Each structure stands twice: as C-alpha cells, then as structure tokens.
Amino acid sequence: MDVPITHIIGTAALIGLVISVALAYTIIVGYVEANVLKPQLKQIAEYVSMNIVNLISLTEFAYGDSPSSTVVTKTLKIPGNLNEKAYLVRLVNEGGNCYVEVKLVARSDIYAASPIPLNSTGARVTIAATEEKINEIVSGGFPDNTITLTTTVYSGNPNILIWCWKNNTIYAGLGIRAGGV
C-alpha cells in the first residue's frame, strides 16, 4: 500500500474512534443525569400529592357538610429548576385515578408520578385535571378571581399553589396566584 492511502485510512479510523467515544460519553452522561433527576422529580410529585390530600382533609374538616365561598390555598415551595433544567407539574386523571406527574420540559422521557389517594379522605372530591373540569368549576361560581386555575404549572414561578373549594363537592387543583400575593 502507498503511504498516503495508509494515512487516509488511519486518519479516518481515528476520526471514527473520536466520534464513537463522544457518542458513548453523551449516552452515559444522559443515563447518569436521568438517574439523578428521577428521584428529585419523584420527591416533588409526592410533595404536591401529599399537600393536595392534606388540603382536601383540611377543607372537609373546616367546612363539613356546608358549602363555602372561601377557597383554601397553599403556596407550593418547589425548586425553580433541577440541575438548571426546567420541569412541569401536571395533574392527570386517567380512568378515575388521579395522580401528579412531574417531568422535564426538554426531556419528556425523564418523569415521575405520584398518586393522589382520594379515597383516604372519605369526602366527595373532584380534581381539576382537565380543561373541561376547570371550565365547569369556573362557571360554577369559583369565588377567587386572583387565582388562575390550571392543570399544568412550570417550575420557576414563585406563585404556584394548590387550592380547594367546597361547593357540595370538594374541588381541588393547581393554580397560579396573580400578583404574587
């Protein structure tokens, strides 16, 4: 073989090796990152789920069988980002089973979920996990116009809250307080 041809083959092999190492590094770092972030996402999902159940219990205890025009709220203290990555918190209702889902905005394959055990409260509860349900609650006379009801909130907003309102049924969901009050 000529010397220039062996140099070309060697250079091509070296370039291929560098590309292979770079790809392997990217894959390994992505895998490690996912394994680090999933437990943090799970903690946030459990925190939101637990606070929803606690707020439902508090609303049931405070108002008993009577409807109320008072909305009970709790501001959520969740991190603004995880490892400089934005995430979202979402309420989901699949076949009557409600849960909190937390996932990265940039990588939807990295997520965690926590069920909302509604049967533990003993009350008739509806979770605002769909836009239709939110519209029904608002048209039913939701009394606090400083709260924007939503099924999904993005990290980084300091005004994220959970809310409960009793009107024959206890309604609960996610919201954002206007003006940061």
- For the record, the structure tokens of 73 come out as 């709220």
- For the record, the structure tokens of 16 come out as 């291929």
Q: Is 175 part of any domain?
A: yes
Residue 181 has pLDDT above 50, yes or no: no
pTM: 0.83
* CA–CA distance, 148 with 65 (Å, rounded to integer): 26
DSSP 69: S
Q: Is 140 part of any domain?
A: yes
- CB-count burial class (<10 Å; 0-12, 13-18, 19+) for 149: buried
Span of 32-36, 45-49, 161-165, 169-173 with lowest mean pLDDT: 32-36
Q: Is 1 part of any domain?
A: no
Amino acid at 170: I
Domain span including residue 24: 9-180
pLDDT tens-digit map of 50-87: 999 999 989 888 877 777 778 899 999 999 999 899 99
* CA–CA distance, 96 with 58 (Å, rounded to integer): 22
Ramachandran angles phi, psi of 157, nearest 5°: -90, 120
Across the chain, mean pLDDT equals 89
Angle at 125 between CA 119 and CA 126, to 5 degrees: 125
Q: Is 2 part of any domain?
A: no
What domain count does the chain have?
1
Dihedral sign from CA coordinates of 127, 111, 82, 47: positive
Q: Is 3 part of any domain?
A: no
Of 154, 137, 142, nearest to 70 by C-alpha is 142
Q: Is 110 part of any domain?
A: yes
pLDDT tens-digit map of 101-123: 999 999 989 999 999 988 765 66
* CA–CA distance, 49 with 102 (Å, rounded to integer): 11
Q: Report pLDDT for 42.
A: 97
